Chains A and B, each alone.
Chain A
Amino acid sequence: MYKKETKESVDNAERRDFFKKVGLGGVKAVAGAAALFTGSNEAEAAVSWARWFQKNFRLMTEEEKDKAISYLEKKYSEKFEKQMDVDKSPAMEDVLFGYALNIQTCIGCRRCVKACAEENNQSRHDPEIEWIRVLQMEKGNFSIENKGEAVSGNTLNVGEYAHKNAGVTLEGEHYYEPEKVPEKDFFYFPVQCMQCENPPCVKVCPIQATWREPDGIVVIDYDWCFGCRMCMSACPYGARHFNWGKPNLPKENVNPDTHYLGNRPRTNGVMEKCTFCIQRVREGRYPACLEACPVGARKFGNLLDPESEIRKILENKRVFRSKVELNTYPKFFYYID
């Protein structure tokens, strides 16, 4: 399965050592945790584990990962009545994924939103989860009729005409229902997980259920998350979504091609978010939202490759990122030609 020693598995080994040192002292009684100390023999011990004691994905050995995956594949296949695959491919070397979106050409059709939900096995209702939000932004409007309807009514000397000022970041509406898009008075600003290089969500998670992969994708271990929603409050982009109830994913809508850290079906009470379609991009395919875009507003590629399309965009277009003042360092760029 593994072609070479990846950066990820080196990280894992270091981490295991760290945990050995830092103290699993009290847990020796638990059969599963005891296996942590015994290195490669733990596959045998793992058989008898209650799934309840399954470890954080990053701390699992390859055998444990395989065990967990075969369990999941069996469970999902039974549930959805079709062969479900759960992939565990690690990050490729020298790859850092980045995304760029042309807000000049985006028409606000939300095909990306739909494609995303279909690809990534989101709950369709109660709760209805969508990872991409397209904000409808009103164009500027300084007209004489609006005189007196100032922006801030409690100040005396400013804002008399600034009734609807253009380009107010993230003051949009994403439940718009027009007959046709694009509408004359609006432009569109799609928001999804920015895969921050300095992700606040990862920092606040008390149990390291979410982390940044070596290829820059921020992922969640759905079997480890306990739903405290710290990450949800910490995310400045509203990118994280919670399974408030048991996800409702109809059998006929399920996408059987999944990744452990990506679009495999989730359970009640855990967090989920965009992973740049980790199950696709680690196989060299484009994210589903990009393929669905009818105007080619979405671009994706390897930020470390100077010849990639995304690098050319960063070089040649007018590029900006959302909420940079929060030091999140997003890898999701917006641009205009």
Chain B
Amino acid sequence: MKKADERKKGFIKDLTLYILKGGKGYYSLLIFLSLVIMLWFFGLYHQFSKGLIVTNLTDQVNWGLYLSNFTFLVGVAAGAVTIVFPSYVYHHKQLKEVAVVGEMLAIAAVVMCLLFVIVHLGRPDRLLHIIPGIGVFNFPASMLAWDVLVLNGYLILNLVCAFYYLYKKYKGEEVKKSFFMPIVYIAIVWALSIHTVTAFLYNTMPARAAWNHSILPIKFISTAFASGPAILIITFLIIRKKTKLKIGDEAIDMLSQIFVWCLGIGLFLMFSEIVTAFYHTTEHAYGLKYLISGLHGYSKLVPWYWVSTIFMTFSFIFLLFPSLRKNHKLLPIACVLSIIGIWIEKGLAFVLPGFFPTSLGEVVEYSPSLVEITISSGNWAVGLFLFVILVKGSIGILTKEVTA
């Protein structure tokens, strides 16, 4: 027992020491993120002391930039499964070797999700009220209660999966399949659940016609399975260039195929939504109308919507050609374009139309305040910081630079 403790201590110590060492680029990235995080503290102090009045949210548009980012990031967390699934279900050898990077992405994304929910609250000091056992948990009626369960569950599953795998690698042992595989399979199904529940959070509200349709969960999942691989492809290309870890072309090709087909399905679903809503232009169409051409002269989101649609469509068509998909100079461009596209589509361009018009027929425009932007950037910086150091540590173990 004592020996195991020592070994565990050795694992954490060696890993930490490896994470602390890095090149110029690594340090400057971390310093940059730390600066953003310092601004984040300022923003948090401002918001927590004055209340949400420092945001541009109103009674009419009461969910904004925070929940938009939250929704996108749940997608990223779920999208990380696109690397775990082929690895462990189809035994894709090259992906399996780096699957842990996907799990690290999931961990960082869920942490960001939780941060975005906390800053969204009017009284974050009462967060205890939602902890099952201490507070009063409205389960199973409330979709937000479900979301708290599935997100935290997913975080734990991924922490266990990733760190158990790394620990075994560190010791140079094989993973114990009877323990590891069930958790991996549960995590795969769980990944679908987090985005499904997040979609239910919105589409179970008949009061908001723009959200209230059953296509939402699958649309969320398909675009998530595009944004997840897109982020992973960029990460892998950077890792290949900057570190000693070898990632096969086949792994990246597999991810880019998943990326393009899921993006295609997402675009098809968006198209179906438009046809359904506009054939008779019922109340379900008002939100889309606000995006496409503006509603009653209010049109702040119109350029964003078109940028998003064009970026996504362009990436899809571009990636349909295998020769372009395999060109690792052009591939990241398509990835970045669709990440931006999906961030808009699943972010503000999804959340805001629910409030256009409001339930009393008003149209009130919203654009985030400086405090909202500062805090959101800060949340992202915390997540990226976490992702970078987690990936760095994983690389150390995968390349056997860190061993027992």
Partners in one complex: yes
Q: Which residues of A contact B (CB under 8 A)?
A: 19, 23-27, 30, 33, 52, 56, 59, 126-127, 133, 135, 152, 154-155, 170-172, 174, 191, 200, 203-209, 224-230, 232-238, 241-246, 267-271, 326-327
Interface segment, one of B216-224, B330-338, B352-360: B352-360
Given the interface contacts A23-B132, A224-B129, does A269 sit within 8 Å of B145 by beta carbon?
no
A62–B30 alpha-carbon span in the complex (Å): 54
Count residues on chain B whose CB falls below 8 Å from chain A CBs.
49
A101–B58 alpha-carbon span in the complex (Å): 28
Q: Are A204 and B142 in contact (CB under 8 A)?
A: yes
Q: What are the residues of chain A within 8 A of B117 when measuring CB–CB?
A: 228
Q: Are A232 and B59 in contact (CB under 8 A)?
A: yes
Q: Are B129 and A207 in contact (CB under 8 A)?
A: yes
Q: What are the residues of chain A within 8 A of B148 when measuring CB–CB?
A: 206
A206–B130 alpha-carbon span in the complex (Å): 7
Q: Which residues of B contact A (CB under 8 A)?
A: 50-53, 55, 57-60, 62-63, 117, 120-127, 129-130, 132-138, 141-145, 148, 201, 204-208, 278, 281, 354, 358-362
A229–B355 alpha-carbon span in the complex (Å): 13
How far, in Å, is B227 (CB) from chain A's closest CB?
24
Q: What are the residues of chain B within 8 A of A227 when measuring CB–CB?
A: 52, 121-123
Q: Are A236 and B120 in contact (CB under 8 A)?
A: no
Given the interface contacts A154-B281, A206-B145, does A33 sit within 8 Å of B134 by beta carbon?
yes
Across the interface, name the chain A residue whose C-beta is closest to B355: A233
Across the interface, name the chain B residue whose C-beta is closest to A30: B134
Q: Are A230 and B354 in contact (CB under 8 A)?
A: no
Q: What are the residues of chain A within 8 A of B205 when measuring CB–CB?
A: 200, 204, 233-234
Contact for B206 among A26, A30, A127, A200, CB less than 8 A: A200
Q: What are the residues of chain B within 8 A of A230 when measuring CB–CB?
A: 142-144, 201
Instruction: Pick from A174, A208, A267 the residue with the most CB of B within 10 Å.
Output: A208
Q: Are B361 and A269 in contact (CB under 8 A)?
A: no
Q: Are B136 and A56 in contact (CB under 8 A)?
A: yes
Q: What are the residues of chain B within 8 A of A243 when measuring CB–CB?
A: 51, 122
A191–B120 alpha-carbon span in the complex (Å): 27
A-B contact pairs, 28 of them (CB 8 A): A24-B134, A25-B133, A27-B133, A56-B129, A135-B361, A154-B281, A171-B361, A174-B360, A203-B141, A204-B143, A204-B204, A224-B136, A225-B123, A226-B122, A226-B126, A227-B121, A228-B120, A229-B122, A230-B143, A234-B207, A237-B359, A238-B358, A242-B122, A244-B51, A244-B52, A269-B51, A269-B122, A326-B206
